[in-house]
Structure 1
Amino acid sequence: MFGLHYKLERSAIGFVLAIVVVASIGGFIEIAPLFTIDETVEDAPDMRVYTPLEVAGRNIYIREGCYACHSQMIRTLRDEVDRYGPYSLAVESQYDHPMLWGSKRTGPDLARIGEKYSNDWHVAHLVNPRDVVPESNMPRYGWLIDTTLRTDDLGAHLAALRAVGVPYTDEMIANAPVDAVHQADPMASATGLVERYGAATNIALFDGNAERLTEMDALVAYLQVLGQLTDLPTTTQTAEVQ
């Protein structure tokens, strides 16, 4: 084995060809699955896109580095399914740019965190995690409830996501700032918001304060939609068990 390697090292052309062959094998293994992507990604007719407020919350989630301690991909292992819920499907990440699957779990996986806890619980947990989970080592994010959410650029964020394949319409992009405000105010007229994003849109007073739209509103709205964009994981995996 070492003799062959020594011979290759003495031949520049042979060594280059060997590198090309090995690199080609690795490249093929990575690229080949892309040719079957249509078979890999499940068909989810009820799949919906993130609302402008949820997009803003996702941006804050990324900005604050939440993905460094929390994954968003439940593996098919029995213990993971028992702990976190139905395993993740490829279709659930089709509108995620970038994807936030992660691999490190200093904190629990959040793929199914949506609607598991109340909005008040999330606010209390983000303001001071030890108030609800005494053993938590998560940092505090209390300033989010005092920081007004910027909305004037939400249309641009949606337009950028449309450029990479998320099916936002011109109407969605044009109404993004208003839709963000209306989603966090149950007393506002949200007819247009529901028409654009569907009856399953979660409209609530996320941070408990109706006086202004905050970054806490956005982050809680995002957390509450995780695992809720489609019912496919629950329906398909229930059928598998039966």
Structure 2
Amino acid sequence: MSFFKHESIEINAGLLIALTMVVISIGGLVEIVPLFYIKDTIEKVEGVRPYSPLELRGRDIYQREGCYLCHSQMIRPFRDEMLRYGHYSLAAESQYDHPFQWGSKRTGPDLARVGGKYSNEWHVAHMINPRDVVPESIMPSYPWLMENELQYADVADRMRALKKAGVPYSETREEYQANVEKFGQEAADKLNILAAEQYLVAEAQAGNFDGDRSRLTEMDALVAYLQVLGTMVDFSQYEEGHFVEFR
């Protein structure tokens, strides 16, 4: 008897589609609804802050050049990944990312912990011609990053757009003070939309990310972004262990 009922569903395309949608909807609700009743879906981790104006522009260039297509920024909680890349990724690390850069495949290594592992000079050489530092690399070259002047006149507007998505950039004194209490004075200054261009230029000059202080290039911004990845959280307080150097 059940066979005939099952067959009647399979031969009726409209009914099959409707019942499939019902099942998918129930499954989706089972996964999503509980999140609305959990007070903290993101673990509390000290150190995570929104990107500075220069880092933000670097992230924009990272996305523009399609770096996310070959590099993920999500270390899974497996021993082999943690031995190679470091502590597994935390949800809190992506709370200000719009969109996040977790990725769905890896042609190159994961970049979630690449910040501070190599010098600025290494990154510049790697972007201009990857084979100069990694002979077996199949990554394309990006020499124009060193040639292109960084466009940052609209960085304040970019920050305002992210603010609407929930990123705590500040425009009022109250918002600024809240950031001082949450992230500290130095970080709060860089999160001030009204002074975005000023701090972008100052950070680029102080960091000298592309090795040429006479110009502000797209390489400055991209290297600044890469150098901050995985450096905001002190993972030594969460788990001790030896991690193999990023390769």
Q: TM-score, normalised by structure 1?
A: 0.84
More divergent stretch after superposition (166-175 vs 119-128): 166-175
Relative distance call for 1:12 and 1:72 in structure 2 (3 A) is: closer
Q: How many residue pairs get matched?
A: 221
Residue pairs, 1:150-189, within 5 angstroms: 150-170=151-171, 172-186=192-206
Instruction: Indicate the percent of aligned positions where both proteins have the same amino acid.
Output: 56
Give the alignment partner of residue 229 of structure 2, picking from 216, 226, 229.
226
Q: Shift of the alpha carbon at 1:175?
A: 1.1
Q: Contact 1:206–1:217 (CA<8 Å) still a contact in 2?
A: yes
RMSD: 2.1
Whether 2:80 is the aligned partner of 1:79: answer yes
Q: Contact 2:49–2:96 (CA<8 Å) still a contact in 1?
A: no
Alpha-carbon distance between aligned partners in 2 of 1:215 and 1:57, rounded to the nearest angstrom: 7
3-state SS of the aligned residue for 1:185? helix
Alpha-carbon distance between aligned partners in 1 of 2:37 and 2:52, rounded to the nearest angstrom: 30
3-state SS of the aligned residue for 1:97? coil
- Show structure 2 runs of 5+ residues with no match: 173-191, 242-247
Q: 1:206: which partner in 2?
A: 209
Relative distance call for 1:12 and 1:212 in structure 2 (3 A) is: closer
Relative distance call for 1:220 and 1:36 in structure 2 (3 A) is: farther
Residue pairs, 1:12-91, within 5 angstroms: 15=16, 18-35=19-36, 38-91=39-92
3-state SS of the aligned residue for 1:237? coil
Alpha-carbon distance between aligned partners in 1 of 2:10 and 2:69, rounded to the nearest angstrom: 41
Q: Deviations over 1:173-227 (max 9, x none)?
A: 11111111100112xxxxxxxxxxxxxxxxx100000111100000000000000
Relative distance call for 1:159 and 1:42 in structure 2 (3 A) is: same
Q: Contact 1:48–1:230 (CA<8 Å) still a contact in 2?
A: no
Alpha-carbon distance between aligned partners in 2 of 1:12 and 1:74, rounded to the nearest angstrom: 42
Alpha-carbon distance between aligned partners in 2 of 1:25 and 1:181, rounded to the nearest angstrom: 51
Alpha-carbon distance between aligned partners in 2 of 1:119 and 1:177, rounded to the nearest angstrom: 22
Q: Contact 2:126–2:133 (CA<8 Å) still a contact in 1?
A: yes
- Show structure 1 runs of 5+ residues with no match: 187-203
Q: Shift of the alpha carbon at 1:19?
A: 3.1
Q: Contact 1:49–1:229 (CA<8 Å) still a contact in 2?
A: no
Alpha-carbon distance between aligned partners in 1 of 2:161 and 2:78, rounded to the nearest angstrom: 36
Letter in 1 for 2:98: H
